[in-house]
Amino acid sequence: MLTIDVLRHGALQGGIKYRGQIEAELTSQGRLAMDQVWQPLSEQVECIITSPLSRCATAATDWAKRADIPCIIEPRIAEMHYGAWEDKTIEEIEQISPGLIQQWRQDPTGMRPPGGESPEELRERIAEWWQETTSNMTDGHILVVGHSGSMRMLIAHALNLPIAATRDMHMPYASWKRLQHDQTTTRLIPVTPA
């Protein structure tokens, strides 16, 4: 049985925006919230896989070094590229793309932010990573550190759910979810923060 803990990065400086693949600094509280999730996992996790963006990778590499475990920087789990929407608030996106952001927030299937990546392209790269990882690791315990969009898509893909299901997943900052995979079945398992 492979246990896959999924952690979204913590809160970012500058408030809530569609940051996508641009760099953004964690707040001190954002990093603390991530460290609080890591603490009970530090004795269990055998490998950390992280988005290359510093809001994920800095904490992940710190933890791996302290725990003396591998840390893999994985570009395929980076956040979706939001194109013209990157570093914009919902209000700013509404000015750029009137009406699109509300449709996107309900069901982004078949849509694409101007100059950005489609949800289908995000799912394709997540699916490639998932297939490779679950084929090579049949048991053990890994931590995946990523983003709201990419982690929602990872869970949707693992559970064989449509893209629209990502909009129903609650994924606040420093959100922690757990998947268990046994080559035939993947389940979402409840976790209780320490």
The 10 Å Cβ neighbour count of residue 142 is 20
| Amino acid 96: pLDDT | 85
Q: What is the mean pLDDT of the chain?
A: 95
Sign of CA dihedral 78, 84, 85, 86: positive
Q: Which amino acid is at 12?
A: L
For 98-116, what is the mean pLDDT? 93
Of the pLDDT bands very low, low, confident and very high (cuts 50, 70, 90), residue 53 is very high
Q: Whole-angstrom Cα distance, residue 179 to residue 41? A: 14
Residue 186, by phi and psi: left (phi above 0), alpha (psi -120 to 50) or beta?
A: beta
pLDDT > 90: percent of the chain: 91
Given a cut of 70, whether residue 85 has pLDDT beyond it is yes
Please tell me what DSSP assigns to residue 117.
-
pLDDT confidence band for 194 (50 / 70 / 90)? low
> What is the reported pLDDT for 165?
97
Task: Please provide the DSSP assignment of the chain as one string.
Answer: -EEEEEEE---BTT-S-B-TTS--PBPHHHHHHHHHHHHHHTTT-SEEEE-SSHHHHHHHHHHHHHHT--EEE-GGGSPPP-GGGTTB-HHHHHHHSTTHHHHHHH--TT---TTS--HHHHHHHHHHHHHHHHHH-SSEEEEEEE-HHHHHHHHHHHTT--GGGGGG----TT-EEEEEE-SS-EEEE-----
Contact predicate 152/144, CB 8 Å:
no
**pLDDT above 90: residue 35:** yes
**For residue 68, what pLDDT band results from cuts at 50, 70 and 90?**
very high
Domains and CATH numbers, the chain: 2-189 (3.40.50.1240)
Residue 126 confidence (pLDDT): 98
* Alpha-carbon distance values, 184 to 42, 122, 130 (Å): 28, 23, 13
- pLDDT for the residue 138: 87
pLDDT tens sequence across 119-171: 999 999 999 999 999 999 989 999 999 999 999 999 999 999 999 999 999 99
The pLDDT assigned to 193 comes to: 62
pLDDT at 60: 98
